[in-house]
Chains A and B, each alone.
Chain A
Amino acid sequence: MSHHLLEFKDVRYRYPDGTEALKGISFLITHGESVGIVGANGAGKSTLLLHMNGHLLPTSGFVTIGEVPLRKETRPEIRRKVGVVFQNPDDQLFMPTVFDDVAFGPLNLGLPPDRVRERVHEALRQVGALALADKPPHHLSGGEKSAVAIATVIAMKPDILVMDEPAASLDPKSRRAVIGLLNTFAHSKIVASHDLDLILDVCARCLVIRDGAIVADGPAPEILSDATLLAGNNLELPLTLQGRPARA
Chain B
Amino acid sequence: MSFETAYSGIGRLDSLSYRETVVHRLDPRAKVVATMLFAVVVVSFPKYEVLALLPFFLFPVLIAALGDIPAGFIAKKVAAVSPFAVFVGIFNPLFDPSTVAIAPGFPVSAGWISFASILVKFALTISAALLLIATTSFPGICRGLRRLGIPAVFVSQLLFLYRYLFVLMEEAMRVVRARDMRSFGTRGTGVRVLVRIVGTLFLRTVERAERIYGAMLARGFRGEAPSMRREALRPSDALFLLAAGGFFALCRFVPVPQAIGRLVRELAG
Which of these, B162, B208, B212, B221, contacts A108 with CB under 8 Å? B221
Those of A79-125 within 8 Å (CB) of chain B: 79-80, 83-84, 86, 88, 90-92, 94-97, 100, 103-105, 107-109, 113, 116-117
Question: What residues on A are CB-neighbors of B227 within 8 Å?
Answer: 100
Q: Is B217's beta carbon under 8 Å from chain A? A: yes
Those of B191-246 within 8 Å (CB) of chain A: 208, 211-212, 214-222, 225-228, 230
CA separation between A53 and B226, bound complex, in Å?
22
A86 touches B211 (CB 8 A): yes
Question: What residues on A are CB-neighbors of B69 within 8 Å?
Answer: none
Those of A53-72 within 8 Å (CB) of chain B: 53, 55
B159 touches A95 (CB 8 A): yes
B218 touches A55 (CB 8 A): yes
Question: What residues on A are CB-neighbors of B166 within 8 Å?
Answer: 138
Which size class do A's interface residues fall under? 20 to 34
Q: Is A193's beta carbon under 8 Å from chain B? A: no
B163 touches A137 (CB 8 A): yes
A136 touches B139 (CB 8 A): yes
Q: Is B3's beta carbon under 8 Å from chain A? A: no
CA separation between A72 and B219, bound complex, in Å?
16
Most chain-A CB neighbours within 10 Å: which of B212, B222, B230?
B212
CA separation between A105 and B160, bound complex, in Å?
17
Question: What residues on A are CB-neighbors of B228 within 8 Å?
Answer: 103, 107, 113, 116-117
A84 touches B159 (CB 8 A): no
Those of B36-62 within 8 Å (CB) of chain A: none
Q: Is B22's beta carbon under 8 Å from chain A? A: no
**Contact A96-B142, Cβ < 8 Å, known A86-B211, A138-B166:** yes
**Contact A96-B159, Cβ < 8 Å, known A79-B220, A90-B167, A91-B208:** yes
Q: Is B115's beta carbon under 8 Å from chain A? A: no
Q: Is B138's beta carbon under 8 Å from chain A? A: yes
Chain A contact surface mostly: helix
**Contact A53-B167, Cβ < 8 Å, known A91-B208, A94-B160, A116-B228:** no
**Contact A107-B226, Cβ < 8 Å, known A76-B220, A96-B159, A137-B163:** yes
CA separation between A53 and B92, bound complex, in Å?
62
**Contact A108-B211, Cβ < 8 Å, known A90-B167, A96-B138, A100-B227:** no
Those of B134-188 within 8 Å (CB) of chain A: 138-139, 142, 159-160, 162-164, 166-167
**Contact A96-B214, Cβ < 8 Å, known A80-B220, A104-B225:** no
CA separation between A117 and B227, bound complex, in Å?
12
A94 touches B226 (CB 8 A): no
B217 touches A55 (CB 8 A): yes
Q: Is A188's beta carbon under 8 Å from chain B? A: no
Question: What residues on B are CB-neighbors of A136 within 8 Å?
Answer: 14, 139, 163
Tell me the smallest distance from the CB of A94 to a CB of chain B, in Å.
Answer: 5
**Contact A55-B167, Cβ < 8 Å, known A105-B219, A108-B222, A136-B139:** no
Question: What residues on B are CB-neighbors of A95 within 8 Å?
Answer: 159, 163, 225
A86 touches B215 (CB 8 A): yes
B212 touches A91 (CB 8 A): yes
Tell me the smallest distance from the CB of A218 to a CB of chain B, in Å.
Answer: 29
A104 touches B219 (CB 8 A): yes
Tell me the smallest distance from the CB of A45 to a CB of chain B, in Å.
Answer: 16
Which of these, A76, A79, A91, contacts B211 with CB under 8 Å? A91
CA separation between A105 and B215, bound complex, in Å?
10
Q: 29 A–B contact pairs at CB < 8 A?
A: A50-B214, A55-B214, A79-B217, A84-B218, A86-B211, A90-B167, A90-B208, A91-B208, A91-B215, A92-B215, A94-B215, A95-B159, A95-B225, A96-B138, A96-B162, A96-B163, A97-B139, A100-B139, A105-B219, A105-B220, A107-B226, A108-B221, A108-B222, A109-B220, A116-B228, A136-B14, A136-B163, A153-B219, A156-B220
User: Which residues of A does B touch, CB under 8 Å?
Assistant: 50, 53, 55, 76, 79-80, 83-84, 86, 88, 90-92, 94-97, 100, 103-105, 107-109, 113, 116-117, 136-138, 152-153, 156
- Supplied contacts A55-B214, A55-B218, 12 more A-B pairs, CB within 8 Å: A55-B217, A88-B211, A90-B167, A90-B208, A91-B215, A94-B164, A96-B159, A104-B216, A104-B219, A108-B219, A108-B226, A138-B166
User: Which residues of B does A touch, CB under 8 Å?
Assistant: 14, 138-139, 142, 159-160, 162-164, 166-167, 208, 211-212, 214-222, 225-228, 230
